[in-house]
Amino acid sequence: MLQKPAKGLMIVVSGPAGSGKGTVLADLRRDKAFAYSVSATTRAPRPGEVDGEHYYFLTREEFEKKIARGEMLEYTEYCGNLYGTPKKEAERVIESGKHLLLEIEVQGAKNIKRAFPHAVTVMLLPPSFAVQEQRLRDRGTESEERILGRLERTKEELQDLSDYDYIVLNPDGGIADATAQIRAIVKAAESAAERFPDLAKHYFEN
């Protein structure tokens, strides 16, 4: 008897500033088919934060050892602290049958695709650079320097998207469509042929 695969999927969503990624991911995360992984960080816990619940709080030495041992799925440095997804944590989510939804930039997505070729990678994009720039300016929350920095970063990142399986456009007013598109991508990936190893064996067994 053939059955739906019990494992969840690894879904990576990337998108430059102004792509609407935050809104789209917040919407997807409301869906109980997805689960969070608990990230690891070297930053100090804030009052009320519980180790293993909000984060795994590690010393820099511990974190770097995990990197060296290949125990981090991906990691990044931000404001002098390391943040990352422990491989074990990602595997725990996937074994539970829920999909792991990761928000990761281009280099991290490339690393994940190398380690997990079946990870599904999605790049969410505004329809054009001009629209992206307009959105960043319309926010009115960032300095000109920061906006230009983000736009420069986008120029670099979009040069090589060969590790992405899907490109999802998010034109103005397109959040609902973009979210539906990512849901379809996830639904399709649930029946990817590679998720049915030993298909003939199970089919001919009763």
| Residues lying near a second copy in the complex (CB under 8 A) | 1-4, 123, 125, 127-130, 155, 158-159, 161, 164-169, 181, 183-185, 187-193, 195-196, 199-200, 202-206
Please answer whether residues 168 and 183 qualify as being in contact, where contact means their C-beta atoms are separated by less than 8 angstroms. no
Which residues contact residue 19 at a Cβ distance below 8 angstroms, ignoring those fewer than 6 apart?
Answer: 124, 125, 126, 132, 170
Q: Rounded distance, CA 58 to CA 81, Å? A: 10
Residue 143: CB minimum distance to a second copy, A: 23
Residue 112: CB minimum distance to a second copy, A: 15
85/181 with CB nearer a second copy = 181
Residue 193: CB minimum distance to a second copy, A: 5
Please answer whether residues 110 and 161 qualify as being in contact, where contact means their C-beta atoms are separated by less than 8 angstroms. no
Q: Rounded distance, CA 158 to CA 18, Å? A: 14
15/84 with CB nearer a second copy = 15
Residue 59: CB minimum distance to a second copy, A: 39
Angle between helix 21-29 and helix 175-190 axes, rounded to 10 deg? 50
36/203 with CB nearer a second copy = 203
39/134 with CB nearer a second copy = 134
| Beta pairing, strands 99-103 & 34-35 | parallel
